[in-house]
Amino acid sequence: MSRATVTVVGGSGYTGGELLRLLLRHPNVEIASVTSDGLAGQPLHRAHPNLRKASELTFVPRPDAKEADVVVACTPHGESVKQVDRLLALGDRLIDLSADFRLKDPAAYRRWYGREHPRPELLERSVYGIAELHRDELRGATFVSGAGCIATASILALAPLVRAGLVDTRRILVDAKIGSSASGLETSVASLHAERSGVVRLYAPAGHRHTGEIEQELTVDGARPTVGLTCHAVDIVRGILATAHAFLKDGVSVEDRDVWRVYRQAYGQEPFVRLVKERTGAHRFPEPKFVTGTNYCDVGFEVDPHANRIVAVSAIDNLSRGSAAAAVQNLNLMMGWPETTGLGDLGLHPV
């Protein structure tokens, strides 16, 4: 299929806006409809001012969503599962960007979300949307679940080390720092400018739900790792910096060149993963600001022989690589198009 129609369900939030920004420039996509019950009848730029003059489309209420080749759901967590039958019937293919179908094990869902999954029979049907790990499954898939943003950054930093058998999977620690756009449009005292400006705030010392995704995707040959995830809110709008501490297995000794080899084997041919490790200069390791608005994940590392660990670092834009741009990458694979179609933007410098 050379072209496809796409309906975006729940298009008025930050993720919806980022997705529309990409789809409107995608050469193979025609947007059939964009839903928003609260903004029905209003132009897209009412919610997304950067899209002014980019489209004549207006939001439509959810019942008026048009059938399409692909449906992308940008609904809040817990909402997609309630309307999944309607979403699946609305298009030939579904990409769900909520957390509702990311975990394949109902017990893991119960553990990390504190309730039973309403539709456990659908969990195995969806493909987890990180192309670097599931490219073959994504080709021709009809149901894809977008990965969590913190999970994406953490998994891409750690997967090569785990799969190479270098690190002790019984104790992996991840410290993630994330910008304010990850909170979406929901308001709270914590999201007020007066409370958010200038902060480095620990908001999830343990128990973050993306831990389940990281452990799921780092499982090798049935051996599920134990990951400790800690999350901080920092004074940026977009971006995630994930710093992972992976301790070497007993008896394993590595040098920089060994770890370089592992990462190059994993990502050397990947179009959207860049290895960043410079000896000198201001930008020696990944930084979120340089991937803003792109589908890139920048990955770096440092070997620490003193503590017998590898510090693995990754940077992504939570709205792009962590959600909307990854959805477009998955869409390309689902449709049999070149994987990079519509995703050629580079980051800006300086920002």
Give pLDDT tens digits for 128-146.
Answer: 999 999 999 999 999 999 9
Q: How far apart are CA 156 and CA 152, in angstroms?
A: 6
Q: What pLDDT is attached to residue 323?
A: 98
Using CB atoms within 10 A of its CB, is residue 261 exposed (0-12), middle (13-18) or buried (19+)?
middle
Domain annotation covers residue 176 = yes
Are 101 and 128 within one domain? Answer: yes
Task: Please indicate, yes or no, whether residues 304 and 185 belong to a single structural domain of this protein.
Answer: yes
Residue 25: its pLDDT value, please?
97
| Residue 48 and residue 129 share a domain | yes
Q: Tell whether 191 is covered by a domain.
A: yes
If asked whether residues 135 and 243 sit together in one domain, one would say: no
Q: Would 121 be classed as within a structural domain?
A: yes
305 and 169 part of one domain: yes
Structure confidence by residue, pLDDT tens digits, 245-263: 999 999 999 999 999 999 9
Q: Is 149 a catalytic residue?
A: yes
Whether residue 271 is preceded by a cis peptide bond, meaning omega within 30 degrees of 0, is no
- Number of structural domains found in the chain: 2
286 in the same domain as 239 = yes
* Nearest partner of 329 among 296, 291, 290, judged by Cα: 296
Whether the pLDDT of residue 39 is over 60: the answer is yes
pLDDT of 222 over the 90 cut: yes
Domain span holding position 90 = 4-147+321-335
Q: Are 165 and 134 in a shared domain?
A: no
**Averaged confidence pLDDT in the chain:** 97
- For 22, phi then psi, to 5°, come to -80, -45
pLDDT category, 1, cuts 50, 70, 90?
low
Q: Are residues 116 and 154 in the same domain?
A: no
Q: Do 232 and 273 reside in the same domain of the chain?
A: yes
Catalytic residue among 74, 149, 231, 297: 149
